[in-house]
Amino acid sequence: MQGKDKTDSFTIAGKDFASRLLLGTSGYPNRQVMLDALKAGGAEIVTVSVRRISLEDYAESMVDLLGGAYHLLPNTAGCETQRDAVLTAHLAREALDTPWVKLELIGDRETLYPDGEQLVQAAEALVKDGFIVLPYCSDDPIVCQKLIDVGCAAVMPLGAPIGSGMGVCNPYNIALICSRSPVPVILDAGIGTASDAALAMELGCAGVLLNTAVAKAQDPVRMAAAMRHAVEGGYQARHAGRIPKRAYAEASSPQLGLIGT
């Protein structure tokens, strides 16, 4: 990639990744489509729900299909209490032999918004127990700062409610979180199409995690490829430096030398 340097590396908890697109594994028409989409998206980190899959290592299990090719990020999807989230994280660490966890702790079943207070408490407990915690949180800069303060390896604010496809509803907050965060900010939830992913990267995000936008697309494999290019394009555009917005036109060609002048 032209212009690539050490600042292009995507690092979480000391581990480098080439891809800034993280993909989920639920909701696909079938497993083959899921595998093809993950490949087309170029993802290295994929999330798996501990509550939805069997963690036993049998032929054709999710672990068997993905474990050798991807960095698995188990999540605590569906947990509504600190106790359940912590127990689920421990189950995942024991079964998958990984300290990495995407911490989800839902406070409202209708909106699937995270419970910020319990989330911070659960994150602190897991960090103290040696976990590498990536929490799914609201786009609240204060909650993000508290999660950083207790030792989370990244923060993952939502762009919009899970599965809504509404994109980045509050770009100001996302940009503010990115500008203040000493750890990677990964936009999680709400992405609907490629332009949403590009915008998240242009706002300053280090990466984008999505699932429904690909899994429920009419052509998941093609959409995964589009998301891959969007994340890469948004990242490069941010570092290339956009032109300033103007309230008036400015000709790109010189005015001198026009015919008739």
Q: What is the CATH number of the domain that holds 155?
A: 3.20.20.70
For residue 197, is it within any domain? yes
For residue 254, is it within any domain? no
Low-confidence ranges of the chain (pLDDT < 70): 1-7, 51-60, 253-261
Please name every residue paired with 15 in a beta bridge, in sequence order, or none if there are none.
12
For residue 52, is it within any domain? yes
For residue 180, is it within any domain? yes
Phi/psi at 76 (5° precision): -100, 40
For residue 258, is it within any domain? no
Instruction: Report the pLDDT value the prediction gives residue 202, as an integer from 0 to 100.
Output: 97
H/E stretch holding 126: helix 116-128
Cα→Cα distances 54→90, 95, 106, 124, 225, Å: 15, 10, 22, 27, 28
How confident is the model over 57-80, as pLDDT tens digits? 444 577 778 878 899 999 999 899
Cα(215)–Cα(165) distance, integer angstroms: 12
For residue 24, the SS3 value is strand
Instruction: Report the pLDDT value the prediction gives residue 3, as an integer from 0 to 100.
Output: 42
For residue 183, is it within any domain? yes
- Range of the structural domain that residue 176 is part of: 6-240
Question: Which residues belong to the active site?
Answer: 102
Domain count, the chain: 1
Cα(259)–Cα(117) distance, integer angstroms: 68
Cα(260)–Cα(202) distance, integer angstroms: 43
Instruction: Report the pLDDT value the prediction gives residue 197, as an integer from 0 to 100.
Output: 97
Radius of gyration of the chain (CA): 20
For residue 154, is it within any domain? yes
Instruction: Report the pLDDT value the prediction gives residue 257, as an integer from 0 to 100.
Output: 61
Query: pTM for the complete prediction?
Result: 0.89
Q: Is 164 exposed, middle or buried (0-12, 13-18, 19+ CB in 10 A)?
A: middle
Write down the residue that tokens 């103290």 correspond to: 128
Instruction: Report the pLDDT value the prediction gives residue 109, as an integer from 0 to 100.
Output: 86
How confident is the model over 121-151, as pLDDT tens digits? 999 999 999 999 999 999 999 999 999 999 9
Instruction: Report the pLDDT value the prediction gives residue 1, as an integer from 0 to 100.
Output: 36
For residue 257, is it within any domain? no
